[in-house]
Structure 1
Amino acid sequence: MLATLAFALALQGARPLWEPDEGRYVNVALEMIASGDWLTPRLHHQVPHFSKPPLTYWTIAASLELFGHNEWAARLPGALAFAGTILLVGWTARRLAPGAEVTAAIVYATSLLPFVAANIVSTDTLLVFCALLGAAGFVELVFGDGSPRLSRAMLWGGFGLAFLTKGPPGLLPLAALLVFAARERGSWRGARRLISLPSFALFSALAFTWYLHEIAHRPDLLRYLLGAEVMERVGSAEFDRNSGLRGLFRAYGPVAIAAMLPWWPLALLRGRRQGAATNAPRGARSREERLLLLWLLLPLTVFVVAQSRLPLYLLPLAAPAALLIARRLGPFPVTRRELAVVLTVAFLLVGLKGLGARWPSDRDGRRFASELLRQLPYSPGEVLFVEARPHYTLAFYLGCEVEEVDLATVQMMPRRPSYRPLEEPLAAELAEDEPARVYLVTPGGDEAWRREVAALGYQTVPRGKVGRYTIYLAPRPAHAPSSPPV
């Protein structure tokens, strides 16, 4: 367990936060800390953000409060979830790959996708842990001889937390497990033994309490969640995330090949030569493999059909894939050769984190913040992006608020995915007495920005450039003195 934890935590804080996702998740957590409101996720103190439920934000905010304002603390929840998932994979293998428990844990821990994902601030690694906790309870109920009460608590508590982490996608593995249970018993009634009144109450409390609270305060939120966050993500290209056939191969093709490297080629060779190498009887093995294949393929089918696709969406498939691979590879032989192979792979993976810390990237939030600060006569209290996706890592590195200005509608608004625009005229924003405000304007929006500001009776002068943006200090009324604020 200590080795697993050390492996998961190694160099977690070496790499700066990258845009866009890491900045956004950490920014929402910082807003929770600053406002004291841990129920409503916000991109800005005026802008609710309901793209994801709050569990991931809560873990990040708690870590930052406990361990300080640093990258290691921001990534700690993902590292702990990764370590927990490794242990759960090994524990679940007791039933699904008996004799290969250590192999299963090693395969998951040292496969490329799970390891890389654990070093990225996102919902996905925590989601996998919660869903696997639920799946482990299911496996114990169906294949094991442990306490049914505890197994049901794991099953429904785990999937309740998965729903609180990512909403409906968190229940895709549960759907596969229920289909398996129904097929095993010939009808859906056979799956009813998996649930009891206390376990249903536990699931409902974890999964739905936060949603009911927020919907009670925002009656139109339910329509947004079902429409934008479910129907549009599944059936439309509204979110511009790799829709269509080309997007399918772009988002999932390379990841599907690399996800379980270096182990799946070895398992393929071993399977061809020896068949499934486990200690389980053939009949039980066939039953276990049916479950694992259903657990793998049913969510994959949904991911393929859905028009919103990102590489990390495939991460929940890594657990059943690791168990299938472990069944092929069989028990882990504790020899010098095998230990040397595993340690080499582990050191190479940890080295990837160090390489990522030194690899130049235009997504590097720390470097962007440093370059911006060098151009300014003061530390900004608020940075507004004109017609551009905000760099939310600025909130982490500069301690400022970050917002977006949309000149097309002359209002302040968050970019999708969010809840709703905050309809505040640009004139009202300009009139606010906030001299430490900075505007960043893209080349395509520069002329419109100048024209809009001038039409409202203000003047502004470019301060310099950072990346592709032109920097403007807070506009002043046209009759005001021209000295910059200090």
Structure 2
Amino acid sequence: MENPGLTLDNKSHRWVIVFLGGLVMCRLLLLLFAPMWDPSEARYAEMSRVMVQSGDWITPHFAPGVPFWAKPPLSMWASAAGIACFGPNHFGARIFTFLAALGLLAMVARAARHEFQSTAMGWVAAALLMASPLFYYCSAAVMTDLFLVLGTTLTMVAFRLALETSSRAWGYGFFVGLSIGLLAKGPLTLVLAGPPIFVYCLFTCQWRQVWQRIPWFSGTLLMLLVSVPWYLLAENHTPGFLDYFIVGEHIRRFTVAAWAGDKYGSAHSKPIGTIWLFALLATFPWCCGLLAAPLRQWRHFRSWLMAANGRCLYLLLWALWPLVFFTQARNIIATYPLPALPAIALLLTEIYWRRASLAKAPRWHPLHPALVGVSATVVLLSVLFPFIKPRFAPGTERELVHCYQAHRALNDRLLYFQKRKFSAEFYTCGQVGTIDSLDVLEQRMQGPGRLFLAIDAQYFAQLPPTVQASFSLLGHWGKQSTLYQQRNATPHLTIDSP
């Protein structure tokens, strides 16, 4: 018989809701006021803006005439829809990603309510997920990862609930989740969801239930009808897409160190096993709550895994497989553990819920005040920093662009030397150029109006003295480029407003 587990008293219940609400509100503030970060977030935001401007909603473009084949466009569709509705600003670019994150939180809460028959545990699971540093960041960042996790989470939650409830709707939800993942990140969705489900069925011997309760034929047809048309349109629109995306992005990227085929940046070569370090950082401090799991005795651990129709086995496989899969990968970034985070949040909720079954509840648990305090401090600092030190916000050109807009006149131009900055393109709606040649720079200096040059100080020092003498320093903003204004050009008298 299933242990009734732990429920929260009214005071604790209120504090969990307040904690979750505070996290959501803090992230909403960052959505509105935090700058677009270079390179990843600003890159996807700028491609989304260009999608709206060009009217090409089939293939995103990395640069004029250069299609972006690295990812399917679901996340960019979402950002482009926001930009089309609200304009090319922080809110427009990020709002639909944020709404998708709220939907993901609701999905995890729904799974927890079903598993533990407790609304309070649903709030706990959602709070633990939102308080994970990686999810907190990605919940309103213009990136593909959040939509991948939306797809994999719906897939995993729907599969479990379809088996538990015999619901036809959840059975189709399984395939809708796969469709979302295929349009967000591609076949990786199948790789992340398939093996955990197979191993779970292998250990629990539920093959008959899986066959009867999942609408395999009609569901697969639904998945193909939703996702395949875009792949065919994309290949027809820009031939060569399928070869680059399927073979390059899904095989060579993870097996070839410093993969030279990356068309859109540099490969991220890391030591084998780095994904586990990323996972610890992504879930800190909440990962410390996993120490309360019954790991010391195999008998207790096996019983814990198989209770409630293998609930913890399912969650553990869901949490571990993305990390195991990427262990051998060399080209990875810090967001790769994200698909494991919903399962980790549910595991932590389960550990906390089962404390009531112990004769003497341990002091250490996933909602220990020390963990809550550390998490709240990290969130508070993340909100306050952009307001306290806006000039030194790392990885964005927002302040430089604002300075240029405050000084510019008609026919003035902003030019970046050596390094392309997507945030500058986003904030100027594409009215910025990038060059890497001294000859081109000297040609541009002869054009009408003044030239505003954004360049790293080390590169400026290497320019010929005659070129350096043509510019005066306007400002420097921490890790951003330094902005120089051309001296010997006379601006037009009509001033554009910023």
The TM tier, using the shorter chain, reads 0.7 to 0.9
Q: Give the whole-Å Cα distance in 1 for the aligned partners of 2:483 and 2:371.
A: 49
1:298 to 313, 321, 333: 321
The structure 2 residue matched to 1:183, chosen from 202, 210, 232, is 202
Distance 1:10 1:471, change over 3 A: closer
> How far apart, CA to CA, are the structure 1 residues paired with 2:348 and 2:209?
29
Distance 1:325 1:468, change over 3 A: same
- Once the two structures are superposed, what CA deviation does each residue of 1:126-183 show, in whole Å capped at 9, x if it has no partner? 22122211212111122x12422x1222111111111111123333332234423551
CA contact (8 A) 1:378 1:436 kept: no
Identity of counterpart residues, as a percentage? 23
Matched residue SS, 2:62: strand
Q: Is the 8 A contact 1:77 1:126 kept in 2?
A: no
- Residue 177 (structure 2) pairs with residue 154 (structure 1): no
Q: Secondary structure of the equivalent of 1:43?
A: strand
What TM-score, normalized to structure 2? 0.74
- Structure 2 partner of 1:201: 221
Residue 348 of structure 2 corresponds to 325
Determine the structure 1 residue equivalent to 2:238.
Answer: 218
Aligned residue type for 1:260: T
RMSD of aligned alpha carbons: 4.3
The equivalent position to 2:250 in structure 1, one of 217, 230, 237, is 230
Cα distance, 1:399–1:332 mapped onto 2, change above 3 Å: farther
1:182-236 CA deviation, whole Å, 9 max, x = no partner?
Answer: 5157698986553433211221122222111010122222222134322231112
Q: Do 1:8 and 1:82's aligned partners in 2 also have CA atoms closer than 8 Å?
A: no
- Give me the whole-angstrom Cα distance separating, in 2, the residues matched to 1:372 and 1:56: 30
User: Quick check: 1:352 aligned with 2:381?
Assistant: yes
Following the alignment from structure 2 to structure 1, what is the Cα–Cα distance between the partners of residues 340 and 236? 35
User: Is the deviation greater in 348-357 or in 462-471?
Assistant: 462-471
Distance 2:245 2:82 in 1: 28
Select which of 289, 308, 322 maps to 2:331. 308
String of CA shifts for 1:438-479, please: whole Å, max 9, x gaps: 6655678779998xxxxxxxx998545665567697xxxxxx
Write the letter of the residue equivalent to 1:30: R
| Amino acid corresponding to residue 424 of structure 2 in structure 1 | L
Other structure's SS at 2:326 match: helix
Report the alpha carbon displacement of residue 285 of structure 1 after superposing the two structures with TM: 3.9
Give the Cα separation in 2 of the matches to 1:102 and 1:332.
17
User: Which residue of structure 1 lines up, in the alignment, with residue 128 of structure 2?
Assistant: 107
Q: Are residues 69 and 373 of structure 1, via their aligned partners in 2, closer, same or farther at CA, if it must alter by over 3 Å? A: same
From 60, 81, 92, the counterpart of 1:73: 92
> 2:197 & 2:395 partners in 1: Cα distance?
41
**Larger RCO of the pair (alpha carbons < 8 Å, separation 6+):** 1
Q: How many residues align?
A: 444
Of 355, 365, 372, the residue aligned with 2:397 is 365
Gaps of 5+ in 2: 1-16, 357-366, 493-498
Using the alignment, how far apart are the partners of 2:211 and 2:448 within structure 1? Answer: 60
Q: CA deviation at 1:39?
A: 1.7
Decide whether the 8 Å contact of 2:460 with 2:468 is kept in 1.
no
Deviation at 1:315, TM superposition (A): 1.0
Q: Tell me whether 296-305 or 462-471 shows the greater mean CA deviation.
A: 462-471
C-alpha separation in 1, matches of 2:299 and 2:282: 21
State how far apart, in whole Å, the 1-side matches of 2:285 and 2:354 are: 17
1:402 Cα deviation (Å)? Answer: 4.8
Give how far 1:65 is off.
Answer: 2.5
State the Cα distance separating 1:331 from its structure 2 match: 6.7
Q: Is the 8 A contact 1:435 1:485 kept in 2?
A: yes
Task: Note the C-alpha offset of 1:32.
Answer: 1.4
Q: In structure 1, which of residues 231, 238, 243 is the aligned counterpart of residue 269 of structure 2?
A: 243
The residue number in structure 2 matching 1:453 is none
Aligned to 1:400, which of 421, 427, 430? 430
Quick one: structure 1 residues 345 and 303, their matched pair in 2 at CA, closer, same or farther if it must change by over 3 Å? same
Contact 1:31–1:45 (CA under 8 A) maintained in structure 2: no
SS of the residue corresponding to residue 143 of structure 2 reads: coil
Task: Report if the CA contact (8 A) 1:241-1:307 is conserved.
Answer: no
Say if 1:178 and 1:15 are closer, same or farther in 2 by CA, change over 3 A: same
Specify the code of the residue in structure 1 equivalent to 2:340.
L
Residue 288 of structure 2 is matched in structure 1 by: 265
Residue type matched to 2:53 in 1?
A
Residue type at the aligned position of 2:142: V
Does the C-alpha gap of structure 1 residues 207 and 271 become closer, same or farther in structure 2, counting only changes over 3 Å? same
The aligned counterpart of 1:420 is none
Q: Using the TM superposition, name which of 27-36 and 105-114 deviates more.
A: 105-114
Cα distance change on mapping 1:235 and 1:407 into 2, 3 Å: farther
The counterpart of 1:391, out of the listed 397, 414, 421, is: 421
Q: Provide TM-score, normalisation by structure 1.
A: 0.76
Q: Give the structure 1 partner of residue 151 of structure 2.
A: 130
The Cα of 1:17 is off from its aligned counterpart by 1.4
Distance in structure 2 (CA, Å) of the matches to 1:137 and 1:214: 29
Identify which range, 282-291 or 158-167, moves more after superposition.
Answer: 282-291
Alpha-carbon separation, structure 1, partners of 2:329 and 2:304:
38
Q: Deviation per CA, 1:293-320: give whole Å up to 9, x if none.
A: 2212222122221221111111111011
CA contact (8 A) 2:172 2:215 kept: no
- The CA deviation at 1:88 is 0.9
